[in-house]
Amino acid sequence: MTERLWTFAAGAAGPWRITGVRAVSGQALPEAPRLDRIAGDAAGGGLWSLRGITSNERYVNRDEKQALAALSPPLGRAQACCAVLIPIRKSAAWWALAQDERRAIMEEQSQHIAHGLRVLPAVARRLHHCRDLSADEPFDFLTWFEFAPEHEAAFDHLLDLLRASPEWAYVEREFELRARLDLGPEN
Ligand code: HEM
């Protein structure tokens, strides 16, 4: 069975060395030396952990779906030694909107998908949903990105565009964690 539930565990163990954390909006999470992305419900032991499930897409149209399928690289590429974990919670006002209203804000007003497609295939991404796991998950989404060091500037530019967009007016908590894979002495 393909695993849909994933745990991000921060603590002493894990392949990813955390290089920086920052609360973009709302409360921060404690600093930790390392991060692991573990299949299944693997909470416990570390400083903090977050869980989310991968799911079907909600908003993409046919053309976007095909473009994403054609351009999206897999996670775990050898050269993609930089990762960013961005947990996000959106406001009650966002969740009170209808599906078509949310789509309009996300794409017609904010071009989230169009801007995002421009950094593919350099950036690999995975969206995890938290809302349906339990009533008290601290975030709605866990977004995870992997890329090679030379693509960090393009990724940062995308972050600037998204955070300045109308969609982000509905983001009430956002945390940013950057990490590196230690590949060997030359890194
Ligand atoms: C790397 C390029 C990116 C691409 C191609 C991309 C594409 C997408 C797509 C297609 C969706 C909609 C999925 C659906 O239909 O349900 C989505 C949702 C989302 N993306 Fe991105 N994205 C990118 C980068 C980012 C970044 C950098 C962030 C965080 C700063 C982010 C945060 C989110 C969130 C939170 C959602 C869920 C929104 C919701 O359902 O309300 N994305 N993205």
Taking only the tens place, the pLDDT of each residue in 27-47 is 999 999 999 999 999 876 789
Q: Is 59 in the pocket of ligand 1 (CB under 6 A)?
A: yes
Say how many Å lie between the CA of residue 113 and the centre of ligand 1: 7
Q: State which of 94, 125, 137, 158 you would mutate to test the pocket of ligand 1, scoring each by most atoms of that ligand within 8 A of its C-beta.
A: 125
Domains along the sequence of the chain with CATH: 19-31+57-181 (3.30.70.3420)
Q: Is 31 in the pocket of ligand 1 (CB under 6 A)?
A: no
Q: Is 71 in the pocket of ligand 1 (CB under 6 A)?
A: no
Report the atom number in ligand 1 closest to the C-alpha of 64. Answer: 10
Centroid of chain to Cα 13:
20
Residue 118: count of CB within 10 angstroms of its CB: 14
Say how many Å lie between the CA of residue 112 and the centre of ligand 1: 7
pLDDT (0 to 100) of residue 45: 74
Q: Does residue 183 carry a pLDDT above 70?
A: no
For residues 186 and 56, the model is more confident at 56
pLDDT (0 to 100) of residue 175: 98
Task: Identify which of 35, 42, 43, 39 has the alpha carbon closest to the alpha carbon of residue 12.
Answer: 35
pLDDT (0 to 100) of residue 187: 46
The model's pTM? 0.96
Task: Check residue 104 and give left, alpha or beta (phi > 0: left; psi -120 to 50: alpha).
Answer: alpha
Give the model confidence (pLDDT) of 132-155 as tens digits. 899 899 999 999 999 999 999 999
pLDDT (0 to 100) of residue 165: 98
Q: Is 113 in the pocket of ligand 1 (CB under 6 A)?
A: yes
Q: Assess whether the previous peptide bond of 74 is cis (omega < 30° from 0).
A: no
Arithmetic mean of pLDDT over the chain? 95
Report the atom number in ligand 1 closest to the C-alpha of 88. Answer: 35
pLDDT (0 to 100) of residue 57: 97
pLDDT (0 to 100) of residue 135: 86
Looking at residue 14, the DSSP 8-state letter turns out to be S
